[in-house]
Amino acid sequence: MSELNKIALKILSNRKGILAADESNGTMTKRLESINVKSSPENRLKFREILFSSEEGMKNIGGVILYDETIRQTASSGKKIPELINSFGSVPGIKVDTGAKRMVGDPANALRMGETITEGLDGLRERLEEYYELGARFTKWRAVIKINKSCPSDLTINANAHALARYASLVQEAKMVPIIEPEVLMNGDHNIDKCFEVTSKVLQECYRELKFHNVNLEGTILKPNMILPGDKCTSRSNVQEIAKMTLKCLKENVPNEVPGIAFLSGGQSEIEATQNLNEINKINDTDFIISFSYGRALQQGALKSWGENQENILKTQKIFSQRSKMNGLASTGQWLKELETE
C-alpha cells in the first residue's frame, strides 16, 4: 500500500467523508451577507473554526478542504488551522485551482460561450510545495461541465480532462492526494438519461488522460456528481432510480484501482444529499468506498443558526454534528429519515 493510498483511505474509511470548506472569499461573502454578517477574514475564520473545533462533528470528517486564506490562519487556541484539523484525526486539504474561466468557443454558437476551462496550472508546482509545508496532504481541482442543447462540446470535455490530469500528476509528485472533481452541473432542463450520458463521457475522458499522464489511481479520490435530472426538468426521478443510475455510471466508467468516491452535493438540499448517498450505499456492490464531500449540504443549517445567534456556538456545532453524523450513516447505507428528528 502506497503512502498516497493510505492518505486516501484515512480520509474516507470508517464512515468518514470530506468537509468542503474551500469557498472563495467571494462565495463566502454572499453566504455571510445572507445571514447579515459582514464578510471579513476574522468572521470567515470564526465560522469555520466553530466547525473545525466541533469534537462531535469532526468524528465523521476524514478530510477538510481549505481555501488559501484559511490554511494560513491561526485558531483562537493558538493552533494553526491545519494543526487544529489534525488534532481531530482529520486530514487538511487545499483547493488549488484558480477558478473556471470562459472557454474560447465557437463565435457562431452563442450557447457554447458559457462553457468554461479551469485554470491554475501556471506556478502550481511551487504552490504545492508551499501548501505541503503548511500542512496540506490532499488537494482539490474542480472542472465544470454544463449541459444544454449545444453543450458540452468535445473541446471543453477534452481540455478540462487534460488539465485535471496535469494537475493530478503534479500533486502526486508533491506527495499529496489529488481529488479529481469533474462536475456535471444539474442546472438545466435535461433528464436523468442525459446526465448519465454526459457524466459517462466526461469520466471516460478523465481516466483516459489520467492514465496517459501515469497518475497512480490508487492515490486519488474521485469527487463526481450524482446522476440527477436537471433542476428545471419536469420529469423527476425517485431516490431508487438516482441510486441505480449513479452506481451504474461508476461501475461502467471508473477504474477499480480508485479507492474511494466522495460525491459533491451540487445544489441538492441537505436531506436530499444524505438520502441519495444512503440509497447508493444500500445497493453498492463495488469495492469503492462511497462517501461525501459536501459544502453547503454540511454547513447550511449551521450557518443559519450562527447568523441568528453568534454567541450560541454549541447550538451551531450541534447542528453541524447532526449533519456530519447523518452523512456518516449514509456512507454505509444505515441512514433513516426518523433519525433526522433526534
Which DSSP string corresponds to 192-260? HHHHHHHHHHHHHHHHHHHHHTT--GGG-EE-PPP----TT-SS---HHHHHHHHHHHHHHHS-TT--E
**Active-site hit among 49, 181, 205, 209:** 181
Residues across the chain: 342
Query: Is residue 63 within 8 Å of 19, Cβ to Cβ?
Result: yes
Contact 34, 308 (CB under 8 A): no
Nearest CA among 82, 201, 196, 188 for reference residue 134 = 82
Nearest C-alpha neighbor of 31 from the set 15, 49, 17, 43: 43
Of 218, 223, 279, 325, the catalytic one is: 223
Q: Minimal CA–CA distance to 275: which of 251, 252, 246, 250?
A: 246
User: Measured between alpha carbons, how far is 144 from 157 in angstroms, rounded to an integer?
Assistant: 9
Half-sphere exposure of 44 (CA within 13 A, CB side): 24
Helix or strand holding residue 85 (H, E): helix 81-86
Provide the 10 A C-beta neighbour count for residue 26: 9
Tell me whether residue 223 is one of the annotated catalytic residues.
yes
* Displacement of CA 29 from its chain's centroid (Å): 20
For the record, the C-alpha cell of 329 comes out as 450513516
Residue type, position 33, single letter: E
122's grid cell: 501556471
Active site residues: 181, 223
